[in-house]
Chain A
Amino acid sequence: MKVVINRWHAIAQWQWDTGRTDEHGDTEEDVCGICRVPFEGCCPTCKMPGDDCPLIWGECSHVFHMHCLLKWIGTPASKQQCPMDRRPWVTAERKVSGS
């Protein structure tokens, strides 16, 4: 017997590749450390998730919604530090190049 697939209409969800492996599935979801909204959602100022509200990866391995982080960096109190570990914020080159 041979099975030939002609057409397959499937359903998939997209996810940000945060570098962490999520073998647990959707039980533990990652949220932005600033706005506490899941990465796959969008930051408070955006309406459309995904490419319109991308993530930003730091060298320190922390990930945020780009808009959230830029807003944070824009405030004087931030001292250009990562809000999670207070190290100077350095955007990881590799990831943002795509967006």
Chain B
Amino acid sequence: MASDALRNQVATKWQESFNRLNRGSPGISGLMLFSEQAWTVASAFLYPRDLGEPPKDFNNQKIRTAFDVLMQCRMLPMLLESFVEDMRKRQHLITRDVEEYMAQYEATNSPSTIASLILRLADWYATWAPGGELGHTISAAFVTAFQTHIFSVLPPAFAGGFKRLIASTLELSTEAQDSRLWTAFEVLGLADRYEALIASVCYEHIEEHVLATCKGKWDEPMLPTLREWMADNVLPWMLLPYARGAKTTDEAKTMLQGVGSRFDFHVCKTLCDLRTQEVFDIVIDYPDSTPALQDLKECLQRVDQRAQLVQAIRKANKRRLLHPGADTKDILTQYVSIIRCLRIIDPPGVLLFKVADPIRRYLRERPDTIRSIVASLVADSESGDSLVDENEPIQPLSVAQIDDYMDPNWEPEPIDAGPEFRTNKPSDVISTLVSIYDSKDLFIKELQVLLAQRLLAVTDGDYEKERRNIEILKIRFGEAPLQVCEVMLRDMTDSRRIDQHVKTQQPSILHPTIISRHFWPQLQSSKIVMPGQLRSIQESYSKEYTLFKPDKKLRWLSHLGTVNLDIQLQDRTITADVPPLEAAFIELFSEKDSWSVEELISRVGAVERGVAVKALLTWVDLGVLKEEEGHTFRLLETADSSGGLRPSGSRTIIDEQPTVVTVQQQQAEQMRVYWKFIEGMLTNLGSLPLDRIQTMLKFAQGYDRTVDQLAGFMEAARREGLVTVREGLWRLNRG
């Protein structure tokens, strides 16, 4: 409880103090005056002046007192308001400057104008800024107001100019960087406002560099080089916008971490895009382009663009590979390269599975795919047309593996694998090629045909290469399917043995290859009879053979083989390698000098006229015969000067007609047999749908065609006018 005396004393003291503050003026006018003075001083200090005006000289002590007073009077918010209002009023000064500089920029398009503009704005900022000692509230209010003003007056063209300015700084070295400029960016809030723009400048810079250095450059890994480039060139620059406040290297590192990985990602993405575009040519260049593939693999791990890659390859394949203009062999080569390339990029084979499917489907439709594959199987590696890398170990064809549910190391299928995808162990290229078709029987058949062609062409008894090939293929396809080839090779050996035996009995110029006919592909059949000495040569050989092998006899395939003969004419001798038919004809000319084609044909038996004429023309070409009126040919005992002298000497005439019936021809031949059945059922039953015909044909022995093949055949028959089709019903065409 305070006593009255104390109360009085306090009142007296208060009055005394008040009077001193009021400076003895009446009422509170002195006090008012005092704060008014403070207000004037403070607002004059804050007043945004023109850059051209000289800075006013203020007494720091006075200003601080003035602000103290205002703060005590709680008038700071009002002061702030009036300051902002003043700024608004003076804003036209900045607007004027901005317009001036922008006009200049529009005229020159030079980023340095923008730089000057920004520095100028920074000057404005510095001049207008209230000192930091006035407290955070005032500076924050100022910054907001100032930036709002600037951004409202900057024209849209500024963004473009700013971008160019940033781009121009990228080209400068670290030392040449204008740090004032970057400080200005920061101060003016441009760094935050245009952050996306700055990043995009950097992205573009990266893209440009990647395109310039990596395009078409596949023979060395580019990714490490690019990262080095980033560290050397882009990183120092990145310190300016992204690590400005950093004091130590560690601090800078943490600040750059996020943005750095963003840029690294962009490098990967750009490279990935580029390589994806180029992928078809990269595959063509394989194996020289292996480094590029390694890059792509690394990029794909960072950037998820596997789907795009698949799309790109599929599109390129469709456009550049899977069209009628491409050679089957080229398609196969490219397919094998794709297999190898994608195995580098994606070892589990998911990408390959997605890419390979259209190629495989396309290859299945090509008629000569099997032949090409088989040809490359047995091709010698020296000639370079082998698809198989000889370093790859020869292994049996892998068969589709069934999931082993007991396998403790089982791994689920990759996440982007389709439902069709089967995890197969990386199988060799040949297995992959053979698996284009469901059965390997077709390959075996084609292989036989090819082997037969090669063996029958062998005249010098050197078929070691074929033997080696068959041994290799046995490892792949297994022993049993190649049994037939084994017999063919043994026929070759036996023929040689028999030939040697016959030679000891009686020298012979005839060296036949004696074949077991059920084990060879069907050969072109023809029944020509050899005339004259040719026949006697054959007969004497047959006799020797039967003496050697009492239970066997020979049947000559007279139209096959080659004869090397000399034709001794009056003025010249001609040596030639010719097919037997040619030899037979010229032999007949030793009986008389002039023959008509019909006469000749009747002497050798069943020969088509076209074939006969072709054989005769061979001799005309060699200058031995001359064609005369009425399809007769006359022997030129002396060289015909009018027709021009042909150079005498050895010339080889190679019969381009294949000796062995191709698988296709064989199938066509078989189909002819089934035509009889079809004709029969259509006669009896009227009209039938296709699947009904197929079902009935299945009763026929050895019928193994698919409905599609049958449809193709029926279509062919329709074109020939044998059948008609209406609403899916086939019927015989009865005129």
Contact = CB atoms under 8 A, between A and B. Distances in A.
Interface of A: 1-17, 25-26, 38, 40-41, 47-51, 54-55, 95, 97-99
Contacts of A95: 550-551
Interface residues of B, number: 59
B597 interface: no
B590 A12 contact: no
A48 B553 contact: no
Given A14-B554, A95-B551, A99-B551, A3 B586 contact: yes
Contact of A13 (B459, B549, B554, B587): B554
Contact of A47 (B486, B555, B570, B637): B486
Contact of B568 (A2, A26, A47, A97): A2
Contacts of A11: 456, 512-513, 515, 523, 556-557, 560-561, 659
B558 interface: yes
Nearest to A50: B516
B517 interface: yes
A95 B552 CA distance: 10
B467 interface: no
Given A1-B567, A51-B549, A8 B510 contact: yes
B447 to A, nearest CB: 18
A42 to B, nearest CB: 9
Contact of B555 (A6, A12, A49, A55): A12
Given A1-B570, A6-B509, A11-B512, 18 more contacts: A1-B635, A2-B590, A5-B563, A8-B511, A8-B534, A8-B583, A10-B510, A10-B558, A11-B513, A11-B556, A12-B557, A13-B517, A13-B555, A16-B553, A41-B519, A49-B518, A95-B551, A97-B550
Contacts of A25: 527
A19 B572 CA distance: 48
Chain B CB within 10 Å — which of A50, A54, A97 has the most?
A50
Nearest to A5: B565
A55 B519 CA distance: 18
B487 interface: yes
Contacts of A8: 509-511, 534, 537, 561-564, 580, 583
B514 interface: yes
A13 B519 contact: no
A76 to B, nearest CB: 30
B527 A98 contact: no
Interface of B: 456, 459, 483, 486-487, 490, 494, 509-519, 523, 525, 527, 533-534, 537-538, 545-546, 549-558, 560-570, 575, 580, 583, 586-587, 589-590, 593, 635, 637, 659
A9 B496 CA distance: 12
B567 A10 contact: no
A86 B487 CA distance: 35
B556 A17 contact: no
A10 to B, nearest CB: 4
Nearest to B557: A11
A1 B509 contact: no
Contacts of B487: 47-49
Contacts of A6: 509, 564-566, 575
Q: Which 6 interchain pairs have the tightest Cβ spacing?
A: A98-B550, A11-B560, A10-B561, A10-B512, A4-B566, A7-B564
Contacts of A9: 459, 511-513, 561-563
B534 A98 contact: no
A12 B526 CA distance: 13
A12 B515 contact: yes
A52 to B, nearest CB: 9
Nearest to B508: A8
A38 B510 contact: no
Contact of A49 (B519, B551, B556): B519
